Amino acid sequence: MTVDGTTLTQIPPLAGAGAEPIAGKARLLRLPRSPKVVAGLGVLALFGLGALIGGWIAPYSPNATDEAGWVQHVLVTGTGPGTNLAANYYPLPLPPSPAHWLGTTVFAQDVWSQLLASTQATLFVGLLAAAIATALSILVGVSAGYLGGAADEGLSLLANVFLAIPGLPLLIVLADYVPSAGSSILLVALIIAVTAWAYSARVLRAQTLSLRNRDFVEAARVTGEGPVRIILVEVLPNLIPIVAASFLFTTLYAIGAYVAIAFLGLAGSPSSSPPGLWNWGEMLRQGFANNAVRGGWWWWWAPPGICIALLGTGLALLNFGIDEFVNPRLRLAGITARTARKAGVRLRASLGATPVLRRARKTSERAGAG
């Protein structure tokens, strides 16, 4: 729901090193150095940490309600003293305070504790679904690409069919019918994976197809190695960057999908029985359903949304980094605005007027002296 469907498509056949010889060694080192990758990894690490230690640092249980101590109560108009109805109070969520860093919900629950619990489940389901989907896409995509012929026709058709059927409606119908889907994390992940594998399978198929005709695979085949061994030893290792990119991409999609179905109330609510897990979508659903927007209780529904957007941005940045690693052209020839500015060049038109930058050159000395 939050994913750009085309980031993966321009990956060229794994063309070894690029055309110009100057990149060379620097390219390998560039992946971890790129600011996009660093930022992406940082965000992921933050959320990963939150998911891991969330259970310990959460000040309250996400389900704990303490209306007496925490929540401001408002008298319902038309009840209580002066009327002939018994006094009736409703709780009001409290804005962030030292006791409740992110305030409380209308149920007098601690938002920060809910957020921590939700991070864990959201990440877990997202990664699990992505892992299942990636495994599926490798199975289908690589087999289709390597086997060719009727197997390829059939598997490609399968992928294309799943790609053509809109994901969320399918997800909704599946989650709606599968009994108690919400209470089983594995089931939720599985359902999401079913709608998420097709795109990666198509990308992997195309890559395998181009690898299949390379000399080293040809050589392995001629020496009589079996298809399974060739796929595992010769083909798969060369697909790793693509698999990694598609895993990230699928994780992004899976988290978006999980949050979406949870928002629709299809992924199980912590208050239902059997209870589902706290997740960002569920927090948003509760906020939305209880008029948190209208009530101005932003601290309730904004944090989970911002978390989704941040995590999504982090994954997307990492994905860009891998994309640029696989397809060096996307790096805009390695010049950032900053280096250009430092060199005194205005990068306006990027084509058709090579900049002329005369300077006192040390070149001739260097070349002359050796």
Partner 1 sequence: MRALLRRLSVYLVAAFVALTFSFLLPRVVPGNPVAGAVARASQSGACNAQCVRAVEEQLGFDVHTSLLSQYVQYWGHLAHGDLGHSWSENAPVLSLILSYVPWTLGLLGVATLMSFLAGTAIGVLLAWRRGSWVEWVMPAATFFQAIPYFFLALVLVLVFGQTGTMLRWFPSLYGYDVYSDTPGLNLPFLFSVIGHAMLPAATVVLASMGGFITAMRNQMVTTMDEDFVLVAAAKGLPTARVVWYAARNALLPVVSNFSIAISLVVAGQILVEIVFNYPGIGFHLYDALGKLDYTLVQGIFVVITLVVLAANLLADVVYVLIDPRVRQAA
Partner 2 sequence: MSEPVLEVRGLSVDYGYGDDAVHAVVDCDLTLRRGQVLGLAGESGSGKTTTAMAAIRLLRSPGVITAGQVLFHPRLASAQSRARAVDVLEADEEELRSLRWSEISVVLQSALNALHPVISIRAQFDDLLEAHRPSLSPGQRLERAAELLEMVGMSGDRLGCYPHQLSGGMRQRVMIAMALALEPQVMILDEPTTALDVVTQREILEELMGLRDRLGFAALFITHDLSLLVELADEIAVMYAGRLVERAPAASLFRAPRLPYTYGLLHCFPPMHGDRSSMEGIPGSPPNLRELPSGCSFHPRCAWAMPICRQKTPRLRDLNGSGRAVACWLHSGEVAIPAELARADL
Region 316-345 residues binding partner 1, contact defined as CB under 8 A? 316-317, 320, 323, 327, 329-330, 332, 335-337, 340-341
- How far is residue 81's CA from residue 87's CA, in Å, rounded to a whole number? 7
End-to-end CA distance of the chain: 58
Q: At what angle do helices 111-147 and 298-326 cross, to 10 degrees?
A: 30
* Shorter beta-carbon distance to partner 1: residue 59 or 169: 169
Cβ 31 to partner 2, closest distance in Å?
A: 17
Cα–Cα separations (whole angstroms), residue 337 to 58, 73, 340, 350 = 43, 55, 5, 12
**β-sheet bridge partners, residue 110:** 104
The answer to whether 59 contacts partner 1 (rule: CB under 8 A) is: no
Window contacting partner 2 (CB under 8 A); options: 14-22, 196-204, 251-259, 315-323:
14-22
* One of 10, 72, 83, 271 touching partner 1 (CB under 8 A): 10
The answer to whether 338 contacts partner 2 (rule: CB under 8 A) is: no
- Return the structure tokens found at 39: 């930022």
Among partner 2, partner 1, none, partner that 169 touches (CB below 5 to 8 angstroms by kind): partner 1
Cis status of the peptide bond prior to 275, with omega within 30 of 0 = no
Show Cβ contacts of residue 172 under 8 Å, excluding neighbours closer than 6 positions.
Answer: 261, 264, 266
Q: Rule CB under 8 A: which of 266-305 touch partner 1?
A: 266, 284, 288, 293-294, 296, 298, 301-302, 304-305
Handedness of CA 335, 341, 345, 349 (dihedral sign): positive
Window contacting partner 1 (CB under 8 A); options: 74-82, 205-213, 214-222, 313-321:
313-321
Cβ 305 to partner 1, closest distance in Å?
A: 4
**DSSP letters along 298-313, please?**
HHHHHHHHHHHHHHHH
The answer to whether 127 contacts partner 1 (rule: CB under 8 A) is: no
Among partner 1, partner 2, none, partner that 222 touches (CB below 5 to 8 angstroms by kind): none
Q: How many residues bind partner 1 (CB under 8 A)?
A: 73
**DSSP letters along 92-160, please?**
EPPPP-SSSTT-B-TTS-BHHHHHHHHHHHHHHHHHHHHHHHHHHHHHHHHHHHHH-HHHHHHHHHHHH
What 7-10 contacts at long range (C-beta under 8 Å, 24+ apart), as own/partner pairs, is 7/245, 7/249, 7/316, 7/319, 7/320, 7/323, 8/199, 8/200, 8/203, 8/242, 8/245, 8/246, 8/249, 8/323, 9/203, 10/323, 10/327, 10/330
Among partner 1, partner 2, none, partner that 163 touches (CB below 5 to 8 angstroms by kind): partner 1
The answer to whether 363 contacts partner 2 (rule: CB under 8 A) is: yes
Among partner 1, partner 2, none, partner that 181 touches (CB below 5 to 8 angstroms by kind): none
The answer to whether 17 contacts partner 1 (rule: CB under 8 A) is: no
The answer to whether 150 contacts partner 1 (rule: CB under 8 A) is: no
Place of tokens 């860093």: 101
Window contacting partner 1 (CB under 8 A); options: 95-103, 162-170, 214-222, 225-233:
162-170
Q: Rule CB under 8 A: which of 195-214 touch partner 2?
A: none
Window contacting partner 1 (CB under 8 A); options: 75-83, 105-113, 208-216, 350-358:
350-358
* One of 16, 21, 149, 274 touching partner 2 (CB under 8 A): 21
Window contacting partner 2 (CB under 8 A); options: 118-126, 291-299, 301-309, 337-345:
337-345
- How far is residue 290's CA from residue 93's CA, in Å, rounded to a whole number? 11
Among partner 1, partner 2, none, partner that 117 touches (CB below 5 to 8 angstroms by kind): none
* Shorter beta-carbon distance to partner 1: residue 83 or 336: 336
